[in-house]
Amino acid sequence: MKAKLNLTCLIVLLLVNTVVLKSQSVSKYPFQNTNISTEERVNDLVSRLTLKEKVSQLFNQSESIDRLGIPAYNWWNECLHGVAAAGKATVFPQAIGMAASFDENMMYRIANAISDEARAKNNFFRKNNISSIYTGLNFWSPNINIFRDPRWGRGQETYGEDPFLTSRMGVNFVKGLQGDNPKYFKVIATAKHYAVHSGPEFTRNSDNVFVNDYDLYNTYLPAFRALVKEANVQSIMCAYNRFRDKPCCGSDLLLSNILRNEFGFNGYVVSDCGAISDFYLPQYHNVVKTSNQALGWSLATGTDLNCEETKGFLVNNLDSAIKAGIVNEKDINRSLKRIFNARFKLGMFDPNGADEYSKIPISVLGSAENQKIALEGAKKAYVLLKNDGILPLRKDKKIALIGPNIDNIDILIANYNGTPVNPVTPLKGLQQKQGSKNVLFAPSCPLTTGFYGNMTTVAAENFFHLENAKLKQGLQAEYFTSTDFTSKPSIARIDPNIDFYWKKSPINNLLEENFSVRWKGVLIPANSGKYIFESGFSLKTKINGVETTSAGVELEKGKRYEFVAEFVSQPYFWGNTLEPTAQLFWVNSSIDYQKQALEVAKNADVIVFCGGISAKLEREAIPSVETEGFSHGDRTDIKLPKVQEELLADLLKTGKPIIFVNFSGSAVALNWESENLPAIIQGFYPGEATGTALASILFGETNPSGRLPVTFYKSISDLPDYKNYNMDGRTYRYFKGNPLYKFGFGLSYTTFSYKNFQISNLAIGDNQIVASVEVTNTGKLAGDEIVQVYLSDKNPDATSAIRSLVAFKRISLAAGETKNVSFAISKDQLSKFNTDFKPVLVSGDYVLSVGGKQPDEISIANKSVLQSEFRIEGK
């Protein structure tokens, strides 16, 4: 028996040694050995790099190191509400719309779907040896800045104005992105922009922000803390602005003291793109004189990866800079270990198939399941703000669909978006629901002066070319392998018009290729008028030798105009050569759209007006946008554009009831609409299922359930100065005025009642309150309620919030159904944070309120919001 056992042991030992020897033969270097720890592999790799090689890895375009088998890698990628800028992907509701759902579970499922599509794309790209911008696994999402002012054009990217709601949505988003594998991350999320950043866009690269410690620790930083501690977010993006005189990407306080020491962050920090250059550029921070000094400062304080649009920032005379102490090689090594740790944990140096995520197929893109989640998200993003009983509509009603956003794809995709798989505008959605005969429509007016939502593709019937001195349909097209049109054309053909989406290069049928196209011919308009053209970054057009601009050009019916368009497909900061598109749109701004709208309204039973604004007007830093109410991506007023309000007033005179659907990424002062129209729906930007979801809500198939994640003010006169970052007078927590619609507000087609609100005393050692309440659906329709719990101090000091959201829960109730809802409210939510970022329980008397909205005198009196007092004895 003993001999047999020894023989068995010998065989096992030989097998093990064979496996080890085989592994060693495959692994030329220790960092390639998957049997040792990630830390050991990272340390070994970094130790083998030359100084020049090390520096080449510190930028978003990390170069290949062929001698070690390290491939090139581009870190620049986005997935704010779907995989962005790399061709088709499911477009979910914009972040602000997801926040309106108050649905943590759905947030996780959306993020999980996004990361599935992200991995599928990356697996496909790697298989085809593509590693350009927007193909990697490190994503610069989510944006968890506090939306403190509705004028900020990028506020749509956030989860609203409340730190707790932001943290809950952000935590679930990061968990869904990064996955739950103990060894590998599915993708790596990046919490941005750290810290105290939320506009203005025009001066963000030079602004020097100051706020008091209370606002810093209790408003601007809690969401970042939550994402680090609860979601283990692996990347942080530092902001453009300075904070207390130091650039955020060079702040010891923010990066070393708070992020690393207090939060325990163990990932890597990446700069916002160009933020390190801002250190030394004279028009921006100008706090140092050279790029060497900027790089050395940023590395020393903990910014590991430098995002730059070009390689021009790469430092000269690095050896002498290190010898002089301007740049420290120890800092370089520390940063390299952090960023390579991320790449290892994404499986980039392991055999293909070693992790489960590397097997996700490209077929998940736009899958039926993901489309289903997108539709769910869109339905939950709509907020019913007013309803005098007109909604839901009867199916026999003939609808006049009017407004600048009825068929505007911009309200679906917002910004930081991919190409939607199945885009459904309000027009398409209502036509699918009611049939074209029952949906009369007219675009009616521009969004605001000079900006239209009803741009259409310039049709083939308007384009011609000369052939043997005769006018023939179509444009002469030349396709070049160069991007400067200097090479001999590879293809010469006739294209009917300019409306292309290329899955692969039209020249060599490759997945990725730089190329260019020149179209020449004659443009003949069917109607006279002033035409505004739109073509995107990559397509430039000329008419009679003059480049078209947003100002528009006067064209005469039937007249021939010399036409030239040039398109270039090449990687740049907001585009690449993956699934490029070339599309030329136009609109005749001379048409009397108001007359058309009034004619359509006369023949309908009810008017659905789809208005508001779009991400063409509010978004990140748009120098070209300078018009009434808008500047450089921000807003200078929060009113609905005058041209829309005037049309609404004329439509009201027809006597037809008007349902106003407002699409915007931020609050709009809908004062006149609230006073005069029977129904208002806030849409935000609901993603590719926008129209399907809207039709479902209008006709009562879906009960609206969204709640406002921001305060809707009546005027900018209610707001402090835009550049003032102190929270006094801002958001529902500190605004002492009377808003138009409060944070957390939203109506339903049914009603809910609350009773038996109970809370436990704050038990010593437990550091939490357990609260419970019974909620009943007292109406005739099933519906979702957002149960909200607010905390207020009965004896507040000067810094205390009026009230703060400390818990919420989305519940579904059938008609007549009752549910008991309980909450565990943690010490963090009951405390104030001190300057060591420690939660401190402050002794005093407090009030806890529960209901479907914020407490006020009316809701407390009619018991739609219940309250209970309790006392905290601080330690």
Catalytic residue list: 272, 618
H/E stretch holding 372 reads: helix 368-381
| 3-state secondary structure at position 432 | helix
Q: Which two tokens stand for residue 805?
A: 């959201």
Residue 595 CA to residue 605 CA, distance in Å, equals: 18
Identity of residue 438: N
Count other C-beta atoms under 10 Å from residue 376's C-beta: 20
Count other C-beta atoms under 10 Å from residue 457's C-beta: 13
Q: Quote the radius of gyration of the chain (alpha carbons, Å).
A: 29
Q: Quick check: 154 and 144 in contact, CB under 8 A? A: no
Strand partners, 384: 681, 747
* CA–centroid distance for 769 within its chain: 34
Residue 510 CA to residue 480 CA, distance in Å, equals: 14
H/E stretch holding 478 reads: strand 475-480
Q: Quick check: 537 and 574 in contact, CB under 8 A? A: yes
Strand partners, 242: 208, 247
Q: Which residues of 486-514 are buried (b: 16+ CB within 10 A; e: fewer)?
A: eeebeeeeebebbebebeebbbeeebbbb
Q: What is the DSSP letter of 94?
A: P
* Angle formed by the axes of helices 163-178 and 222-229, nearest 10°: 30
Of the CA atoms within 13 Å of residue 100, those in its CB half-sphere come to 38
Q: Which two tokens stand for residue 874?
A: 């601080």
Residue 297 CA to residue 325 CA, distance in Å, equals: 11
179 to 86, 235, 328, 346: CA distances (angstroms): 21, 15, 35, 11
Q: Quick check: 300 and 268 in contact, CB under 8 A? A: no
Nearest residue to 171 via CA among 96, 231, 94: 231
Q: Which residues of 307-336 are buried (b: 16+ CB within 10 A; e: fewer)?
A: bbeeeebebeebeebbeeebbeeebbbebb
